[in-house]
Amino acid sequence: MKTIVFAIQKGGQGKSMLATHFAFYAAELKHSVLAVDLDGQGNFSRNLTTEAIDKEASPALSLFEGRKRPALPLSGKFIAPGSAALFSGDHRLVRVDEVPKLLPESLRDSLQSLAPSFDICVIDPPPTLGKRLRAALMAADYVVMPFAPARESVDGLGDLMDTIEAVKKEYNPALQVLGLLANKINSRSLDEKKTLEQIELAAPGMLLPTRIHERTSISSAMAASQPVWARSGGASQRLAAQELRAACASILKTMLIK
């Protein structure tokens, strides 16, 4: 099993949106996908299925508590039976932050015991630089950092990189940083263009070549628990579908070869 986390310590950057599309994408290609929602808001869980989620069946909190639970099989129009399963996120995950005896490395150990049943694991962390994000980085093989190229989002990227480097050094030297994924781009904004150029200068080679523009078809698709490429729409929807497929394809390709 190869594990990826979409990480940034700010909300609204596209972590859950990308985690969802990546999970749909890998499942479509017949990989067996395990989705792990570490955010108490449960956006990733809800994005993946319109069906009611039994919060007691497979709470992500159980991965920290050492209670062995099977993941909840996902079903729905966009997920073939048996292709994906979920550890759902809900507000009780705050216990991970509050209870010292719940260790970040427990997540890695729990996922290791599930590894024989899945090919790809996708972790969606909460929007803070806390224990759950560290746990995700300790358990992951790959990290992608999605960000909306506005000034405030970019300010925290240094802290995130420091956190990643610290986790790599202390716990997980094999963690591969795949790069920064620019999302919610508004191509008419000169400020954003400048911000992207500054990032390229400050961190050469870190910006992934695939970029995703801001389009309402993406938020509508998430609200309907569908991948944007499964919806019909106009030219803008088709471009959104192309961009998301390209981003998912290049990430998955790297994961399968590196």
Ligand X SMILES: Nc1ncnc2c1ncn2[C@@H]1O[C@H](COP(=O)(O)OP(=O)(O)O)[C@@H](O)[C@H]1O
Chain residues in the site for ligand X (CB under 6 A): 11-17, 43, 127, 183-184, 212, 214-215, 218-219, 222
Rounded distance between C-alpha atoms, residue 4 and residue 69, angstroms: 21
Is the Cβ of residue 29 or residue 150 nearer to Mg ion in the bound state? 150
Q: In terms of DSSP bridges, do strands 72-73 and 84-87 run parallel, antiparallel, or are they unpaired?
A: antiparallel
Which SS3 state, helix, strand or coil, does residue 1 take?
coil
Can you state the angle between helices 105-114 and 131-139, rounded to 10 degrees? 40
Can you state the angle between helices 235-257 and 216-223, rounded to 10 degrees? 70
Is the Cβ of residue 8 or residue 61 nearer to ligand X in the bound state? 8
**Min CB(9)–Mg ion separation in Å:** 11
**Min CB(244)–Mg ion separation in Å:** 16
Q: Which does 126 bind (CB under 5 to 8 A by kind): ligand X, Mg ion, none?
A: none
Residue 43 found at the interface with Mg ion (CB under 5 A): yes
| Contact range with Mg ion by CB under 5 A, out of 10-18, 45-53, 145-153, 194-202 | 10-18
Q: Which does 219 bind (CB under 5 to 8 A by kind): ligand X, Mg ion, none?
A: ligand X
Is the Cβ of residue 42 or residue 106 nearer to ligand X in the bound state? 42
Is the Cβ of residue 108 or residue 215 nearer to ligand X in the bound state? 215
Is the Cβ of residue 103 or residue 150 nearer to ligand X in the bound state? 150
Number of residues near Mg ion (by CB under 5 A):
3
Residue 146's DSSP bridge partners are: 181
Q: What single-letter amino acid sits at 171? A: Y
Residue matched to tokens 């990290």: 143
Is the Cβ of residue 44 or residue 118 nearer to ligand X in the bound state? 44
Residue 184 found at the interface with Mg ion (CB under 5 A): no
**Min CB(144)–ligand X separation in Å:** 12
Rounded distance between C-alpha atoms, residue 99 and residue 86, angstroms: 24
Q: Which does 13 bind (CB under 5 to 8 A by kind): Mg ion, ligand X, none?
A: ligand X
Rounded distance between C-alpha atoms, residue 208 and residue 250, angstroms: 9
One residue of 2, 15, 108, 131 binding Mg ion per CB under 5 A: 15
Rounded distance between C-alpha atoms, residue 11 and residue 147, angstroms: 10
Going by the DSSP 8-state scheme, the letter that residue 57 receives in this structure is T
Q: Which does 60 bind (CB under 5 to 8 A by kind): ligand X, Mg ion, none?
A: none
Q: Which contiguous run of DSSP H or E holds residue 164?
A: helix 157-170
Rounded distance between C-alpha atoms, residue 207 and residue 247, angstroms: 12
